Amino acid sequence: MIERAIENWLIRTNERNYQTAFCQVLMHQGHRVLHSSVHGPMEQGKDIITIGPDGECHAYQTKTGDIGLAEWRGISGEIQELVELPVDYPGVDKSKPHRAYLVTNGSITDPVRTQINDRNEDNIRKDRRYASLEVIPRDSLLKSFVDAQGRFVPRELPDMRAFLELYLEDGRSMLPKEKLFAVLEGSSFSGKPTKKSDTVDAVTSSLVIVSYLLNSFEATENHYAMAEGWSILAACIARYTARNAIPPDQWRESLDLVMAELEANLALLRKNAIDRADFLEGDIRADGGVMLRARTTIMLGALACHELLPAGPWKADRSPDEVLQLIRAHIGRRNIWGDSAFPYLFFVIKFLESRNEIALARTLLDELFVAITETNFNRQGPIFPTPYLGIEEILASQIPDRLQDVDLDVYRGSSYIIRPVLEMLVRRGRRDLIAAKWRRFTYCQQNEFIPDRPEDIFAWRIEDGTNASGFPNKTQSWAALVSESLDLSPVPPVYRDFRHVLPFHLLVCPQRVTPTIIRSLDTP
């Protein structure tokens, strides 16, 4: 059944979507992936470049669908480059011949195979020293995927149910984050590794699973959902490897692959956004208003976060000028729907500061602080609900077509983000504003969830932890506040180890925002 499910995915997907999973399979086979065109431009007919376990350089060109003579003629130029041009990549010896592969999720017809064989033999006969072209059609590709992850796919209900629901999800929707966390934690990352290969198997399987679970989102080019999906996988890998103290050499390259995929989707999201006059989406009859404003906040926050991610070994496609242009054009339509909107605004503020747009950044931060303080002090009017409620639940609670299970009013007077926002102001020396609002500020209960194990911040929900809450000091020393706001000693090493995973993870899991995490990200 699982084999059929993977086959179903493989024949329907495109090369962009299976390429990352294929890279992971190659890594599982002992390759070191140097380049993947999903994460950067294609290198002379070579979508993937690796150093194999044999020490030789391997170059792959990936395609979608059956390759008959007509298709073969269409790609012959690229194939010629793949075979004839040496691999021009830092660290690769150009004088040594490489191995070349044509990969497709379809079949390769016999006449094409004959032509490939003839060409290979001709090259050998004439001692041209070109690479010999090998083919990896669907059947071989399928076998490698099944071998890589088959034993990790969930087989028990309700995991299988969540698995299938995700696979069949409407790709235009927001990603059901809870389900993806559940599938990964219930399959690839469910056990404790006892030997090195367990870790490698777990990470490999997870990457293949995520590739095909995100298929419907890939098909609709829902890049934000894709970015969330890859971020969830990055978080699961971070938690799993930290919890089991697994050495980085066993997972670092895989995590890089995941982060590169996350970044590639954010770059595509930016390109999509830059071509639009507004951010209306889908059926516009029911769009606009608060929905548009929420989408605007999400878009700007995600793109700002992308620009601020620590650089990795992959070629990142970033464009701070375009993002600044987008923020200037759309920031007026922002919406702060609750605590779960804070991470988006945080990254917009940080990005603006990085671009020296201090006045706008300051306006946004001041406005946020005043809004949280006032809404939580007042007994009527707008509410900032808990970060455990995402934008979709909050929007749904405003549609009067059903009995509502969500009572937003109970969240009045308490906040998970008021302390991190306060500390941001303190670090920026905004004593005047804080002093002006302190009396009302002291009425807001400050909440925080503290997991027993630091790496559990990368989980969706956890049992082992404490819901801490309390009120600020009525009389507060500014000097003490400054000292606390700059104190990085409570930052656990795992935050620093996964500093590149943490930022986007906060957009996916806004309930993980704590003063300490924001302190670690806000402090140079």
Partner 1 sequence: MGRLKNRHSQRFTAYLQLSDNHLRSNQITMLPDFPRLKERLLRLAWFEHRGRIQADELIGAIRAVPYFEGRGFATGDVDGHVERADAEVMAFPYEIQRSAIIERGLDAFRESLAKATALQIQAMHEMLLRKAAEATERVGNAVDAGGQPFSAELYFKMLETVQIDFDELGRPDISGTRMVMHPDQAERVRALMEQWEKDDSFQQRYRDIMLKKREEWRDRESNRKLVD
Site residues (vs partner 1, CB under 8 A): 386, 388, 403, 410-411, 413-414, 431, 434-435, 438-439, 442, 449, 451, 461-471, 473-479, 481, 511
Residue 479 CB, nearest distance to partner 1 (Å)? Answer: 6
Asked if 360 contacts 331 with a C-beta cutoff of 8 angstroms, the reply is: yes
Residue 406 CB, nearest distance to partner 1 (Å)? Answer: 9
Distance CA 513, CA 521 (A): 11
Closest to partner 1 by CB, 69 or 410? 410
Residue 457 CB, nearest distance to partner 1 (Å)? Answer: 12
SS3 499: coil
For the stretch 263-290, what's the b/e string if a residue is b when 16 or more beta carbons lie within 10 angstroms of its beta carbon?
A: bbbbbbbbeebeeeeebeeeeeeeeeee
Please give the structure tokens belonging to residue 248: 């980085």
Asked if 372 contacts 331 with a C-beta cutoff of 8 angstroms, the reply is: no
Residue 471 CB, nearest distance to partner 1 (Å)? Answer: 5
Distance CA 50, CA 34 (A): 5
Closest to partner 1 by CB, 60 or 416? 416
Instruction: Report the first-to-last Cα separation within the chain, whole angstroms.
Output: 50
Closest to partner 1 by CB, 318 or 461? 461
Closest to partner 1 by CB, 36 or 386? 386
Closest to partner 1 by CB, 12 or 461? 461
Residue 426 CB, nearest distance to partner 1 (Å)? Answer: 10
Closest to partner 1 by CB, 247 or 478? 478
SS3 letters across 40-83: CCCECCECEEEECCCCCEEEEEEECCCECHHHHHHHHHHHHHHH
> 207: Cβ–Cβ under 8 A, 6 or more apart, which residues?
20, 21, 24, 233, 254, 257, 258
Closest to partner 1 by CB, 251 or 449? 449
Residue 467 CB, nearest distance to partner 1 (Å)? Answer: 5
CA distances from 501 to 13, 160, 353, 440 (A): 27, 27, 21, 35
Closest to partner 1 by CB, 294 or 389? 389
Q: How many CA within 13 A on the CB side of residue 65? A: 6
Q: Are strands 57-63 and 48-51 parallel, antiparallel or unpaired?
A: antiparallel
Residue 453 CB, nearest distance to partner 1 (Å)? Answer: 12
Closest to partner 1 by CB, 433 or 491? 433
Residue 438 CB, nearest distance to partner 1 (Å)? Answer: 5
The residue type of 112 is V
Distance CA 458, CA 237 (A): 9
Residue 199 CB, nearest distance to partner 1 (Å)? Answer: 27
CA dihedral for 471, 337, 495, 517, sign (positive or negative): negative
Closest to partner 1 by CB, 77 or 470? 470
Please give the structure tokens belonging to residue 283: 């059926």
CA distances from 191 to 161, 243, 311 (A): 20, 11, 31
Residue 246 CB, nearest distance to partner 1 (Å)? Answer: 25
Consecutive H or E run containing 190: none
